[in-house]
């Protein structure tokens, strides 16, 4: 049996993934074969081993395949062969999870969707859906928040369910919303200016921000947006949503791009994406990710 969970709202899709794993563990009293791997990590051999037929007396099997959209052609070929077997296998549950949208998952959908018992897409929520989700989250977590506080958090975290799920409990416990105070602005601008061109200066600025208690998730997001802008400028594709960027910021970005090779900007942006996934899944904290990025690790 095959389940396919995908979409840009990776918080809700991961929540569903964890729910499926928990239910299966409870149903089998924890007695089952569990295979979990990321297709991005050249997982063709892992897929083949996980897909090996079980004997009559073997335990039930749960296979979780993450990010199949990033699998190699060999991986997708093997997936096509195994999907037909899994479709009618009552002893094997296969869950494919991906944070790509329909376009990014096109090849995988063509292979798996016709055979999947359930396919669920988690697109970004509308404002109304986000509010309903937040109210349900508050109720389930037994949080106490005023309507005004909820409105402010919804505005701050618009379109980011991960941040929404982080901010709601924090504010309920008396914390402050995640944002940089004005005194940090000058230093974060220095940090962004130095990133990719002067690692030593960038690290120094990052350490100063850390000592001031600045939120490093916010800093990570700022660096992601900065590198995205550099890449757009370098590739000359037009600025799209960045077209409202202040002319001074664009001028600085163009000057900085002239100091860099486009390959290094692309590589930095790819690494930002990889670290973003690791941060959101708890595999690494934002500070370590930022340091690694600055050092090229």
Give per-10-residue mean pLDDT for the chain (297 aa): 92 90 85 83 76 61 90 90 86 91 92 92 92 93 87 83 83 59 66 87 88 82 90 74 60 83 90 88 88 82
Q: Which residues contact 227 (CB under 8 A, 6 or more apart)?
A: 195, 196, 265, 268, 269, 272
Asked whether the beta carbons of 39 and 67 are under 8 A apart, the reply is: yes
Q: How many CB atoms within 10 Å of residue 175? A: 10
Provide the pLDDT for residue 105. Answer: 93
Place of tokens 């940089």: 180
Whole-angstrom CA distances from 57 to 26, 62, 105 are 20, 16, 36
Provide the pLDDT for residue 180. Answer: 42
Cα Rg of the chain (Å, integer): 22
State whether the Cα torsion 230-236-238-240 is positive or negative: negative
Residue 15: DSSP 8-state: H
d(CA 175, CA 196): 33
The phi and psi torsions of 65 (rounded to 5 degrees) equal -115, 115
In this structure, which long-range contacts are made by residues 160-163, counting pairs with CB atoms below 8 Å and at least 24 apart in sequence?
Answer: 161/9, 161/11, 161/12, 161/125, 161/130, 161/133, 162/10, 162/11, 162/280, 163/217
Q: How many CB atoms within 10 Å of residue 20? A: 17
The phi and psi torsions of 14 (rounded to 5 degrees) equal -70, -35
- Would you put residue 240 in left (φ > 0), alpha (ψ -120 to 50) or beta? left
Provide the pLDDT for residue 248. Answer: 63
Q: Which helix (H) or strand (E) holds 94?
A: strand 92-98
Q: Which helix (H) or strand (E) holds 20?
A: helix 10-27
Provide the pLDDT for residue 183. Answer: 46
Q: Is the pTM of this model over 0.85?
A: no
């Amino acid at each position: 049996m095959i389940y396919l969970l995908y979409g840009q709202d990776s918080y809700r899709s991961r929540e569903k993934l964890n729910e499926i794993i928990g239910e299966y563990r409870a149903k089998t009293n924890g007695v089952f074969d569990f295979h979990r791997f990321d297709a991005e990590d050249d997982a063709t051999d892992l897929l083949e081993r996980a897909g090996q037929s079980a004997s009559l007396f073997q335990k039930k099997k749960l296979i979780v395949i993450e990010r199949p959209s990033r699998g190699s052609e060999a991986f997708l070929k093997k997936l096509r062969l195994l999907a037909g077997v899994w479709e009618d296998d009552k002893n094997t549950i296969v869950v494919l999870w991906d944070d790509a949208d329909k376009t990014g998952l096109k090849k995988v959908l063509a292979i798996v969707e016709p055979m999947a018992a359930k396919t669920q897409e988690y697109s970004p929520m509308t404002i109304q859906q986000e509010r309903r989700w937040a109210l349900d989250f508050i109720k389930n977590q037994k949080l106490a928040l005023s309507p005004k506080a909820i409105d402010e958090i919804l505005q701050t975290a618009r379109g980011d369910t991960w941040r929404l799920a982080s901010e709601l409990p924090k504010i309920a416990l008396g914390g402050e919303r995640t944002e940089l105070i004005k005194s940090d602005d000058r230093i974060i601008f220095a940090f962004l200016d130095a990133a990719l061109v002067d690692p030593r200066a960038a690290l120094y600025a990052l350490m100063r921000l850390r000592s001031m208690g600045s939120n490093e998730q916010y800093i990570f997001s700022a660096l992601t947006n900065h590198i995205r802008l550099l890449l757009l400028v370098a590739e000359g594709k037009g600025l799209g949503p960045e077209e409202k960027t202040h002319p001074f910021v664009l001028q600085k970005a163009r000057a900085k791009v002239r100091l860099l090779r486009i390959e290094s900007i692309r590589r930095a942006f790819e690494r930002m994406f990889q670290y973003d996934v690791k941060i959101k899944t708890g595999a690494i904290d934002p500070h370590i990710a930022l340091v690694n990025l600055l050092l090229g690790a």
